[in-house]
Amino acid sequence: MKTVICTSYGPPEVLQVREVNKPVPGDNDVLIKIYASTVTMGDCELRNLTLPLWTRLPIRLYMGYRKPRRLTPGMEFSGVIESVGKTVKSFKKGDPVFGSCGMLNALHFLRKAKIQSGQKILIIGAGGSIGSYGVQLAKLYGAEVTAVDSTGKLDMLRAIGADHVIDYTQEDFYQNGKKYDVIFDTVYKSSFSRCIDSLKPEGLYLMANPGPFRMIRALWVSWISRKKVIFAFAREKVEDLKHLGDLIVSCKIKPSIDRRYPLEKTAEAHAYVEKGFKKGCVVITVMDSDQ
């Protein structure tokens, strides 16, 4: 079978399509025929190690110091069960499935915010895969949403429900003087102080990509003021995936798909994503669903 192998850390060209033996599931495993996957900014950051300095050594120790031991990239998938181990009871051959080995940041953080109808929320980096789900979930909870991203993503953000959009290449959200109940920040380089200053007196700042210095500042702000800062890594829960699936099936939220690439052009997809222009999700088509 064909798969994409990450041969080393580096640019998209380190990704190569190769023929490998089909894995055999163990007693507690299932073998999934993948129809589609995605490319996220997280995939690109792990491939080229363009991560905050404080995370690079731990990532190398976990994934492999000289080159990645986890050779196949990708955090999300959909497909069907091809075979199951002898002790598996929850699935059978032919079952359609989808899953994630990444983190459900949008749902995780917005649940922590306990958003009330009518609250004002600012989402920074709203045009990415996390942010675009964040916009829709916040609207589902009844919030008034202001979405911040670059020029090319604004129409998409309006289409998925954002009440207001801000082009960060033309305007600094901090300069307009508006205050928000919640700020959901998916961008590592956002100004911490400006986000705190843009909160209402009892506002909440959600940091999806915190660094150690920001964590210390977050604890300090939460201690000396009524404003709160939440940072945490999202946990993967089956019930959360089922909940998101139900919301999609009922058309309460929808995936925003920017581009689709065949498996053979995964490197090209990575090159596109790491430029920061993608609107929502970029999909890798592994095989047609009618095969």
Count other C-beta atoms under 10 Å from residue 261's C-beta: 18
Assign residue 68 a region (left: φ > 0; alpha: ψ between -120 and 50; beta: otherwise).
beta
Interval 138-195: pLDDT, tens = 999 999 999 999 999 999 999 999 999 999 999 999 988 899 999 999 987 789 999 9
102 confidence band (pLDDT: 50, 70, 90) = low
> Cα–Cα distance between 249 and 59 in angstroms, integer?
36
Q: Among 283, 275, 284, 286, which residue's Cα sits nearest to residue 41? A: 275
CATH 3.40.50.720 domain residues, the chain = 105-231
Q: What is the mean pLDDT of residues 4-16?
A: 93
**118 DSSP 8-state letter:** T
Count other C-beta atoms under 10 Å from residue 121's C-beta: 26
Q: Among 78, 61, 79, which residue's Cα sits nearest to residue 70? A: 61
> Cα–Cα distance between 162 and 245 in angstroms, integer?
21
Query: In the predicted model, is pLDDT for residue 70 greater than 80?
Result: no
Angle value at C-alpha 205, between 199 and 211, nearest 5 degrees: 130
Q: What is the mean pLDDT of residues 263-279?
A: 94
| pLDDT for the residue 119 | 97
Interval 50-67: pLDDT, tens = 777 777 777 787 788 888
Provide Rg for the chain, Cα atoms.
Answer: 20
Compute the Cα dihedral for 225, 231, 235, 237 and give only its sign. positive
Beta bridge partners of 78: 36, 98
Percentage of the chain surpassing pLDDT 70?
98
> Cα–Cα distance between 148 and 168 in angstroms, integer?
6
Q: Superfamily assignment of 105-231 in CATH?
A: NAD(P)-binding Rossmann-like Domain (3.40.50.720)
CATH 3.90.180.10 domain residues, the chain = 2-102+236-285
Task: Match domain 2-102+236-285 to its CATH number in 3.40.50.300, 3.90.180.10, 3.10.129.10, 3.40.50.150.
Answer: 3.90.180.10
Interval 228-257: pLDDT, tens = 999 877 777 889 989 999 999 999 999 899
